Amino acid sequence: MTEYESESPPRDPDRLRRRAGVRGNPDRDQHFLVDDRVLDRVPGYLPPDADRSHLLEIGGGTGALTDRLLASGEHVTVVERDPDLAAFLREEFDEEVAAGRLDVLEGDALDVELPEFTACVSNLPYGVSSEIAFRLLPEKRPLVLMFQLEFAERMVADPGTEEYGRLSVSAGHYADVELVETVPREAFDPQPRVESALVRCTPRDPEYEVADEEFFLRFVKALFTQRRKTVRNAIRNTAHISGLADPDAVVEAVDEGTLAKRPGELPPAAFAALAGTALRESDVGEGQ
């Protein structure tokens, strides 16, 4: 138990939804996590040494996870885009709001100014989960995030596997990424069409260096649009995406062993080396 843990039992997710008067709307990406056992486990997936003094939650819904986060952290900020749910959260947790332990920000998590936070635990809206994840990852804070299972598997994939791609390299650039629990459809109401998964991201510096992070990520994106091609052809075919002015000069500077591989076979460090060569051998524009 942490020093913040509440002595009162956690709020029941079904009762919270009844009090809020909502049923969830798949068309608005509202799938409420209602399985008590999963909810109780979620905060525990943060790294043991994670600073829990200010926890961020994206998509508070009716507050079932918010309640667990308040029990395990000192201060919680919830971002909720639905104005009715934001109002409900302020009413349901009025004591915590009054005590300065809970802030509710009404708005889209892609647009609002996020506060300084020490860790983030969230059941993300799946339609914008990628955009939100890549807003959070550069903050270099511990994250426990709920994704669609297929998305989570691509985040944690190893080189040479079918799932390995731009997402794997980009997420791994910022953190050690682990799939810590598969969550069945039945844990949500309304049920999504696919299974879900909890992913833990523990921030760390990569084992390689990049001179220009923005270009590195754009270069990785470009090459994976040609994942079935050789690296040689991928570099040449995607200059309009990466922004390379002279892709042939880059190809000439890279060893044959690398050029003959496909992007999905390259580990992140190899992408970093390629990006470094590209920056040395060619002028680089903004790309697409």
- How many angstroms separate the Cα of 181 from the Cα of each of 39, 165, 197, 198? 12, 21, 6, 5
Q: Is 223 annotated as a binding residue?
A: no
CA dihedral 176→262→228→195, nearest 10 degrees, is -20
Q: Is 80 annotated as a binding residue?
A: yes
Q: Which amino acid would we find at residue 64?
A: A
Biggest distance spanned by C-alpha atoms of the chain: 67
Q: Which amino acid would we find at residue 243?
A: G
Q: Is 240 annotated as a binding residue?
A: no
Q: Is 108 annotated as a binding residue?
A: yes
Distance CA 252, CA 274 (A): 12
What 3-state DSSP class applies to 119? strand
* Cβ count near 42 (within 10 Å): 24
The tokens of 48 are what? 């043991």
Task: Check residue 115 and report its DSSP letter.
Answer: P
Cα-flanking dihedrals φ and ψ of residue 260, to 5°?
A: -80, -15
Distance CA 275, CA 284 (A): 11
Bind-site residues = 31, 33, 59, 80, 108, 123
Bind-site residues for S-adenosyl-L-methionine = 31, 33, 59, 80, 108, 123
